[in-house]
Amino acid sequence: MPEIHHTDLLVVGAGPAGYTAAIYAARASLKPILVTGMQPGGQLTITTDVENYPGFATPVQGPWLMEQMRAQAEHVGTQLVYDLIVRADLKNGPGPDGYFRLVGDSGDEFRARTVVIATGAQAKWLGLESEKRLQRGGVSACATCDGFFYRGKTVAVIGGGNTAVEEGLYLTHHADKVHLIHRRDSLRAERILQERLFSNPKIEVHWNQAVEEILGSGEPEVVCGVALKDTQTGALSKLDVDGVFVAIGHTPNAGPFRHEVACDSDGYILTESSGTETSVKGVFAAGDIQDRIFRQAVTAAGTGCMAALEAERYLSGIPAMTKT
Which active-site residues does the annotation give? 142, 145-146
Output 9 or 246, the one with its CB closest to ligand NDP.
246
Q: What SS3 string covers 16-85?
A: HHHHHHHHHHHHCCCCCEEECCCCCCHHHHHCCEECCCCCCCCCEEHHHHHHHHHHHHHHCCCEEECCCE
CB of 226 to ligand NDP, least distance (A): 12
In terms of CB distance, is 133 or 281 closer to ligand NDP?
133
**Alpha-carbon distance 265 to 58, whole Å?**
40
* Residue 171 to residue 247: CA distance in whole angstroms: 12
Distance of closest approach, residue 76 Cβ to ligand NDP, in angstroms: 35
Least separation in angstroms between residue 198's CB and ligand NDP is 16
Residue 67 or 213: the one with the smaller Cβ distance to ligand NDP is 213
Q: Among residues 122, 84, 113, which one has the least CA distance to residue 287? A: 122
Closest separation in Å from C-beta 108 to ligand NDP: 35
By beta-carbon proximity to ligand NDP, the closer residue of 184 and 258 is 184
* Residue ranges binding ligand NDP (CB under 6 A): 126, 158-164, 166, 183-184, 188, 248-250, 292-293
Distance CA 311, CA 304 (A): 11
DSSP state of 125: -
Cβ distance to ligand NDP smaller for residue 101 or 229: 229
d(CA 82, CA 195): 48
Judged by beta carbon, residue 113 or residue 179, the one nearer ligand NDP is: 179
Smallest gap from residue 184 Cβ to ligand NDP (A): 4
| SS3 at position 261 | coil
Q: How many whole angstroms separate alpha carbon 271 and alpha carbon 288?
A: 12
Taking CB positions, which residue lies at the least distance from ligand NDP? 161
* 3-state SS, residue 293: coil
Amino acid 33 reads: I
Q: What is the DSSP letter of 270?
A: P
Q: Nearer to ligand NDP by C-beta: 162 or 278?
A: 162
- Provide the angle, in degrees to the nearest 10, between the axes of the packed helices 297-315 and 16-27: 40
State how far the alpha carbon of 250 is from the alpha carbons of 21, 26, 142, 288, 289, in Å: 23, 31, 11, 10, 10
Nearest in space to 32 (alpha carbons), one of 323, 315, 322: 315
